[in-house]
Structure 1
């Protein structure tokens, strides 16, 4: 059974969904069962048709789906995950509201166990793979301070949150690292006719995505002239191993944001097949479970 191709549906065909399809097609152990999305754009239909991938409006229209990648805005994830888990299908999401994800996992765990399914929650790069690095840093130096500095780059979650506001035609939220884990949010909004810039500016600054950070909002004529999906992170920890002080740990990367998020979700889909029913964050799953191949071969190669 584990040698058969895993049938995976992609729910949402935006930035992450497009890269998820590409990552699935490149995975030797997976196949794209279909894409679930409103057929809003003819170009999407033509592109998926050319690849032989069904485009449907409900996952119930697809046959034999084992896992669903929820490539949807974060705030829609809980409802979609509840529904799909109840159908007996594993889910993988990239939910990115750090303060809420632990409670969401506990809620989805009950649904998953009741339906013999698995949910992998917050499977992106942060939360996600960065969470694994932070956990490693913590057990390597149990006492100390860690800083996660994002950017500079486009934050997809923050951008989608602004785009969803009434009166916003399009938006871009850029994350600028100040240092020591402090960030500045630079938000550029393209308004619909008649929209109040001051009202939208206030709504952004009081949104949970932005309320904890220094946030600057600007009105622009065309957001598309500004967008760059590049992003990055620098993580640092200065800590103590045993009684030895001044241990300095660092991790850094510069990435295409949606491409890496999608690739991590595909790896998490693979890992979901190896877990007992329930809901998991990435730090709860053995790292070898994200890999394709014989475990002993992977150990010989990487350990």
Structure 2
């Protein structure tokens, strides 16, 4: 079996978990990781680390972009232009279609594949929502997240000037409505009012009820556990009162990483272009032969 040569870009919470997942698969070969510093990763000292993909001697098939969401479009284009497939976990829902369209143009030009917004939400939850709509086309779906840490929101707060450290918690209030609790360590000399306003007007927070609390030690509060509950009540044909529920409680970075790696596998089986998870055949995410999975699952 020819293994898929992969690199991990970034070594934060998700990047470390992507490395863990890759080391526990049979069809990937982890070539190394990219860090701005080029320094070894303390948790994985034997993994080769470079500052640029051009420094690796082996041909790279897939780059897993475990980087802040707002950096994804630029970096993805750079890898795609080298003919390397990319997988990201872009999570600003309102911009996903625009990013997909933008990356599709580059991917097709260089015969590569970009899997956009791979993770559990957006990502596998999107697949579940799509399936529930197929089962009951008319109706309503409610998604309740948490309680738990939102990685995307936390990274967004950390990027705000005047923030030393931060944690954003998602608290469900029911019927798909959420409250954001943001804990902030202020940088020296920063203004509480300025930082709080910047958080509440950021695209990640502007549509939710957001409470900002200033603390001395954010790390004392951190827990990467999260969860989701999807419910749909709808109509199949003319028959109403069809009720469905999907619920999970998970380690946020670990599940995001697992879905990203599965998406990287799918990327090698797709025609060039950009895809979200709902556009990819489910069997393409699975390790092994398609016919074997059909026999096992159908």
1:133 aligns to what? 128
Counterpart for residue 48 of structure 1: 44
State yes or no: 1:85 paired with 2:83: no
Q: CA deviation at 1:45?
A: 3.6
Distance in 1 (CA, whole Å) between partners of 2:195 and 2:283 is: 45
Aligned alpha-carbon RMSD (Å): 1.0
**Structure 2 counterpart of 1:202, from 178, 185, 197:** 197
Could you say what secondary structure the match of 1:22 adopts? helix
| Equivalent in the alignment of 2:247 | 252
CA positional deviation for 1:46 = 4.3
Paired residues of 1:48 and 1:55 also in contact (CA < 8 A): no
Aligned equivalent of 1:23 = 21
Aligned match for 1:6, one of 4, 7, 32: 4
> Which ranges in structure 2 are unaligned for 5 or more consecutive residues?
none
The answer as to 2:59 corresponding to 1:61 is no
CA contact (8 A) 2:41 2:47 kept: no
The equivalences for 1:36-185 within 5 A come to: 36-39=34-37, 44-49=40-45, 52-62=46-56, 63-185=58-180
Gaps of 5+ in 1: none
Q: CA deviation at 1:18?
A: 0.2
d(CA) in 1 for partners of 2:19, 2:109: 29
1:35 aligns to 2:33 (yes or no): yes
Deviation at 1:38, TM superposition (A): 2.4
Residues 1:263 and 2:252 aligned together: no
Q: Secondary structure in 2 aligned to 1:48? A: coil
- Count residues with an aligned counterpart: 297
With the length of structure 2 as denominator, give the TM-score of the two structures: 0.98
Find 1:289's aligned residue among 284, 288, 293: 284
Give the secondary-structure state (helix, strand or coil) at the position aligned to 1:26: coil
Mapped to 1, the partners of 2:120 and 2:84 lie a distance apart of 23
2 CA distance for matches of 1:294 and 1:111? 30
CA contact (8 A) 1:12 1:36 kept: yes
Instruction: Report if aligned partners of 1:123, 1:264 keep a CA contact under 8 Å in 2.
Output: yes
